Chains A and B, each alone.
Chain A
Amino acid sequence: MVNKNLVKDVVKEPYKYGFVTDIETEKIKKGLNEDIIKLISQKKEEPKFLLDFRLKAFKKWQKMKEPDWAALGYKKIDYQDIIYYSAPKQKEKISSLDEVDPKLLETFDKLGIPLTEQKKLTNVAVDAVFDSVSIATTFREELAEHGVIFCSISEAVKNHADLIEKYLGTVVPASDNYFAALNSAVFSDGSFVYIPKGVACPMDLSSYFRINSGDSGQFERTLIIAEESSSVSYLEGCTAPMFDTNTLHAAVVELVALDDASIKYSTVQNWYAGDEEGIGGIFNFVTKRGKCLGKRSKISWSQVETGSAITWKYPSCLLLGEESVGEFYSVALTNNLQQADTGTKMIHIGPKTKSTIVSKGISAGNSKNSYRGLVKMGTKATGSRNYSQCDSMLIGDQASANTFPYIKSQQPNSEIEHEASTCRISEDQLFYLQTRGIEFEEAVSMMVSGFCRDVFNQLPMEFAAEADKLLALKLEGSVG
């Protein structure tokens, strides 16, 4: 029934964010050494504690080895062949969006990012990061009325140094892993969010990351702090132009939730994935971690991973506070020669902590899609619970789907449940849909979207619609 020729007929829809913005940029020379780090720090006029933080991280990084346990096949990265700082040239200080280079605004317009504040209907505040620096942050004043701080991390370093010094590196220490150490040494920009006590953030916050240059890496750092009884929903989107070289993206995201606070962090990752032969594309090696410090605090990660040549990330939760909750909802789609090794870590330390993991992997073409997760119950995690569900869907007989759950328990009074399954699109269901007059491709996309429903339900509405569309586009023609 199924036309086998269609299998080879891989994604036809070109990557629509693959354009390059021709804009004058300020780049520093390639390579990585202490002088480069000092230069970055100097350009950003950073206080001493941050320079020390960077240099310490760099020293640690030099002693570390690049990890290879994930068995991801990629060419060795030459860390001296990367530009660690690249920024579009613009006027020194921007007082309003009118002063932003129109080319940049145009770029974000093309990407569908509402930077102009007239687009208030969307009610989403955006921080746009272009290569190494943050370009603009919208809705600041309105947020400020509620006491919410939402700005680029460079600004936060200048204006809220106390908070940065207190929290930076407390969730993901510089020595955590190879890429986190690299990021700590050279991070250029990113977003900073602070929600004061008792405030429910009046709108969704969003950052948008855009890599423009082919030879510069992107190393952004995001820090979100939710004080007692506050809540925030944060969205993150990423795109990059098409280059035939691989670009490194090594970000660090740190979340801190205090008593009764809740943070929802959603990502739609659509970096350029390389072409059908696997040339080019972004290496997405990201460390994301949240610390539920307070009692009854909650951190929820939801992600849709469709881009990048290689994705290697495990958004995690450290559940320290009593009755704290960690959640992870993920859809990872790989096609052509993409590789994704993603999952989560739920570390239950405090008593009565709960975590839920729902991971859906879809592999098509020659791609490799792995779920790797850790659930750990510490000795004090009495009455804690975890539930994990990992489903994989295989499309075509060249793709691979792997599941590697690590489960460790040291607390008898806790419960862990894990289940995983692998399947393919059921021919019976496809046939049924087709008999009802639904086109083959549409039927497939309906079924994929049904498969991912549990996760899409967790995404903010505008993201869910985008994610659904994205999956349909990515899979177009890949099913046979």
Chain B
Amino acid sequence: MEIIEKIKTNKSNENLTEIQKICLHKLQSSPLPNPKSELWRLSNKSKLSNFLDYSVNEKDSKFDIPYPKNSQSTIRLIIGENCQIKLIEKNYSIQQLSEDELQKYIKEQISNFDQNENWSGLLNLSLSCKNNILGLKINGSKIPPIEIFSHASSNSLNAKTLVIFLENNCDVELLQVNLGKENSSLSQSTFFCLKENSSVNHGVVSYGENRSNLLNSLNVIQQKNSSYNLGSLHFKFNYARFEISIKQSAGNAKTNIKGMQITKKDEQISTYAKIEFNGPNGFLDQINKSLADDKSHAIFEGSIIVPKIAQRTDASQLSRNLLLSNLAQIDTKPQLEIIADDVKCKHGATISQLNEEELFYMRTRGITLTEASKLQLSSYFQEIISFIPISKDKWDLLDKLLNEN
């Protein structure tokens, strides 16, 4: 693990940015996460070390967006390639964040970062060079949907960072696509700051190839009356971690999350979600689905934190899991930590296989077992996929998933 050695020795490179130096410093005392901690306990150690085996690649090879159906009305950006962005239209504007704004925001965020809990974020920021950080300020309404791509090249580790400010009253649809190439590692970190009254439909689709790895961390700060909707899908990664941290900084905000992870072969994909309510009247509706087949392992860990100040919070979290093989494994742990008394919080979890009665019914109607299973799966997937913005028609996600299952 060349990277870890580098962090340990910390050969100060003059080309490093201030943020990279801060992050390296934070990681230096213990460059790897504590394998005994709750957040890393179930993580496959050899897969994590495989993630770190590749050397860092700062310059990408030429990248072709694999989905040709590009409609005129979509704005497409590729992290690492688009450096100068300035779009000012009548109703809206999308601009690059200034160096100062970017530095200030990231520094503020990492000041609260914990070596263990935010290890993926710290690693990302210590590796992300200036070119691979994209900072955007979005303002206005009637903005065309935005697609942002992040990708890793084969036999290397790529670190990409995205910072987005949504200004007051702004309303946007944004799809983030993380693509893993064969034998590659992608470290993706996203920071979202939703100002008052803003609203975003955020989609995250992470799609790997043979033996690709992903560490994906997402930090969202929601100000008053903002609304954050997240639809996420992770599949085909040898090893992937999706770490979500959402803070409703003054309450009175809405969060809807629908996420799904699909594991096959010997893959391991995990989702860690932490939602904090720092003000009253917060709302959360989260559902996370997993499907584990072959010898794979799917993990979900969610925590809802409601301190005393967050009265009248209404939060619910549901983890639904399908276990399709004798050798696969599912771990799920939805947690509630509550101090405020006037709250409605609930969570639920189920693990089972496909519903036999439904399958039987369909078969009595002349539908074959394979088709019946597909039908059931498609309804299982559809709930999540329909929540991912601008994906529905263009991306054929459902077909992709069904044909592979």
Contacts and interface: CB of A to CB of B under 8 A. Distances in A.
A398 B340 CA distance: 7
Contacts of A398: 308, 339
A422 B342 CA distance: 9
A419 interface: yes
A356 to B, nearest CB: 15
B220 interface: no
Interface in B314-346: 321, 323-346
A395 B336 contact: no
A339 interface: no
Contacts of B144: none
Given A398-B308, A408-B330, A409-B329, A422 B349 contact: no
Nearest to B297: A410
A403 B337 CA distance: 7
A344 to B, nearest CB: 15
Interface stretch (B124-132, B165-173, B350-358): B350-358
B347 A400 contact: no
Interface residues of A, number: 34
Contacts of A165: none
Given A408-B331, A412-B324, A400 B337 contact: yes
A420 interface: yes
B348 interface: yes
B332 A419 contact: no
Nearest to A369: B338
A428 B342 CA distance: 13
A432 interface: no
B346 A422 contact: yes
B336 A402 contact: yes
A411 B323 contact: yes
Interface in A402-442: 402-424
A13 B350 CA distance: 43
Nearest to A409: B351
A257 interface: no
A405 B338 contact: no
A421 B337 contact: no
B255 interface: no
Interface string A354-382: 00000000000000000000000101000
Contact of A422 (B331, B334, B338): B338
A418 B341 contact: no
A11 interface: no
Given A403-B336, A416-B350, A396 B341 contact: yes
Contacts of B345: 421-422
A412 B350 contact: no
Contacts of B353: 412-413
B116 interface: no
A392 B338 contact: yes
Given A404-B335, A420-B347, A397 B341 contact: yes
Contacts of A395: 341
B226 interface: no
B268 interface: no
Nearest to A386: B351
B353 to A, nearest CB: 4
B183 interface: no
B311 interface: yes
Nearest to B324: A412
A420 to B, nearest CB: 5
Contacts of A403: 334-336, 347
A403 B315 CA distance: 14
A317 interface: no
A412 B328 CA distance: 8
A394 interface: yes
Interface string B338-381: 11111111111111110000000000000000000000000000
Contacts of A379: 326-327
A406 B338 contact: no
B348 A397 contact: no
B341 A416 contact: no
Nearest to B325: A412
Given A401-B338, A412-B353, A423 B344 contact: yes
A366 B323 CA distance: 41
B311 A405 contact: no
Contacts of A414: 351-352
A417 B349 contact: yes
A423 B334 CA distance: 17
Contacts of A413: 353
B352 A416 contact: yes
B308 A407 contact: no
A327 B340 CA distance: 31
Contact of B338 (A394, A408, A410, A419): A394
A37 interface: no
Contact of A418 (B324, B328, B349): B349
Contacts of B347: 403, 418-420
A347 to B, nearest CB: 14
A128 interface: no
A399 interface: yes
Contact of A408 (B329, B336, B343): B329
A392 B338 CA distance: 10
B331 A412 contact: no
A404 B301 CA distance: 10
Contacts of A402: 335-338
B321 to A, nearest CB: 7
Contacts of B325: 412
Contacts of A418: 334, 347-350
A361 to B, nearest CB: 10
B331 A397 contact: no
Interface in B27-82: none
A136 B338 CA distance: 45
B6 to A, nearest CB: 32
B324 A422 contact: no
A233 B300 CA distance: 39
Nearest to A410: B329
Contact of B341 (A394, A405, A406, A419): A394
Contacts of B336: 392, 401-403, 420, 422
Q: Most A CB atoms within 10 A — which of B327, B336, B341? A: B341
Given A392-B338, A404-B333, 11 more contacts: A379-B327, A397-B311, A399-B339, A405-B333, A405-B335, A407-B330, A414-B352, A416-B349, A416-B350, A420-B348, A422-B344
Interface of A: 377, 379, 392, 394-424
26 contacts: A394-B340, A395-B341, A397-B340, A397-B341, A397-B342, A399-B341, A402-B335, A405-B333, A405-B334, A409-B321, A409-B323, A410-B326, A413-B353, A414-B351, A415-B351, A418-B334, A418-B347, A419-B347, A420-B334, A420-B336, A420-B346, A420-B348, A422-B336, A423-B343, A423-B344, A424-B341
Q: Which 3 A-B pairs have the closest CB atoms?
A: A394-B341, A421-B346, A418-B349
